[in-house]
Structure 1
Amino acid sequence: MTGDSVSTQWGNVQVQITVTNGKITSATAVEYPQNNGRDQQINAYAIPVLQQESVGATSANIDMVSGATVTSGGYVQSLQSALDKAGL
């Protein structure tokens, strides 16, 4: 299930998830800010952490990544959208 693309200050963020038995079994950021070196540097560590936080979750109530507040916020919004589409 793919969540909505969420527009943030630094670019769009979109999450795709797989849900099994009411839990997220995989999460992939299919779109996130990568427009400059700073975006790439921040998201090189933030995106894997956000994806890891999502796996096993049953809601979008996951920890944000310090230093990547904007990306984290967009990720959580897109994750919630994907969960809504999955009926959770």
Structure 2
Amino acid sequence: MAALHESLQLDNELTSEKAAERIEYLNNELKKAEINYLHSDADELRSHVKESVKKLVKDSYLFPHQVKDAITAYLKVMAGDKSGRIV
């Protein structure tokens, strides 16, 4: 670890906790950047939403029946069906 510390020329000792915190911070920043990108490009956002819905539908067999019903009602409302009722 000392060799790594020297090669990185860090002011403070590098610990696994500090490294984990930094990795978490960088992952959060990447997520924020991706969200900002999606919000800035309507076509990319639409594509992302479609892919997310496809994945949700593909994995729906994993969800309990009540969760499936709630998801279906939500998607119907979002698609313009004001009743949100499951037929």
Tell me if both proteins adopt one fold, taking TM over 0.5 as the criterion.
no
Higher CA-based Rg: 2
Of structures 1 and 2, the one with the larger relative CO (CA 8 A, separation 6+) is 1
Which of the five TM-score ranges fits, normalised by the shorter chain?
under 0.3
Q: What TM-score do the two structures reach when normalised by structure 2?
A: 0.27
> Counting strand residues as a fraction of each chain, which structure ranks higher?
1
